[in-house]
Amino acid sequence: MDCGTALGKIIAKADGLLPRQEEAELAEHLAGCPSCAADDAATVATGPVLRALAGIRAKEKAPALDAMWTRVRAGIEESRGTRRRASWIARWAWIPAAIALAASALLFYPARTNRSPFHPTSFDVAFEDVESDASTVALVDKGEDLPRVIWIIEDAKS
């Protein structure tokens, strides 16, 4: 195995992608090649170093992250509270609307039923004057419990 092939396999081993048989061949090469062995050692050490570095950075940023998370949580809680209040209004809004509808129905309904169909309360009518330019007009009065009538006779047709 040459050093170029060995370097590819060193990287594959660090990524956990190297088959066992090839790992044995690589070990054999590393045992006889100090340069590749040094590369392998450096590659193996990179992972823990990166993890340590990330840990250090996380520790540095932890107070800022905590403060940010606290703010985010407070915002979520506030939004939930507002939504609860809004949904309460939406849930019960039909009650005043229903009361308003019922009130308007009570106010308007009796008057409307009185008007349609015809239910007169009086036939007491006074005729101050009755005139016609084109017809003969007759006043008909058949009694107090019957409507008074103005009868128009057009050209003696009715």
Partner 1 sequence: MPNPDLRGRVGAPAIFILLLLLLTAALPAEAADTVTVDVGAVYASNEGTSIDPALGTIRTKLRSMFNYTSYRMLDRKRRTLSVGETGEFELPGGRSMRATPLPAQGDKVRLSIRISEGPKNLLTTTLGLRRGGMVLVGGPPHQTGVLILIISAE
3-state secondary structure of 140: strand
The yes or no reply on residue 74 touching partner 1 (CB under 8 A) is: no
Q: How far apart are CA 40 and CA 28, in angstroms?
A: 13
3-state secondary structure of 84: helix
Q: Would you give the DSSP letter of residue 135?
A: S
With CB under 8 A as the contact rule, which of the stretches 10-18, 28-36, 41-49, 137-145 interacts with partner 1? 137-145
The yes or no reply on residue 60 touching partner 1 (CB under 8 A) is: no
The yes or no reply on residue 125 touching partner 1 (CB under 8 A) is: yes
| CB 135, CB 154: distance < 8 Å | yes
C-alpha separations of 13 from 6, 17, 18, 21 in Å: 10, 6, 5, 12
The yes or no reply on residue 82 touching partner 1 (CB under 8 A) is: yes
> Please, what is the minimum distance in Å from the beta carbon of residue 111 to partner 1?
7
C-alpha separations of 55 from 43, 62, 70 in Å: 19, 10, 21
Q: Which of 4, 20, 64, 111 binds partner 1 (CB under 8 A)?
A: 111
The yes or no reply on residue 72 touching partner 1 (CB under 8 A) is: no
The yes or no reply on residue 77 touching partner 1 (CB under 8 A) is: no
Give the binding site for partner 1 (CB under 8 A): 82-83, 85-87, 89-90, 93, 96-97, 99-100, 103-104, 107-108, 111, 115-135, 137, 140, 142, 145-154, 157-158
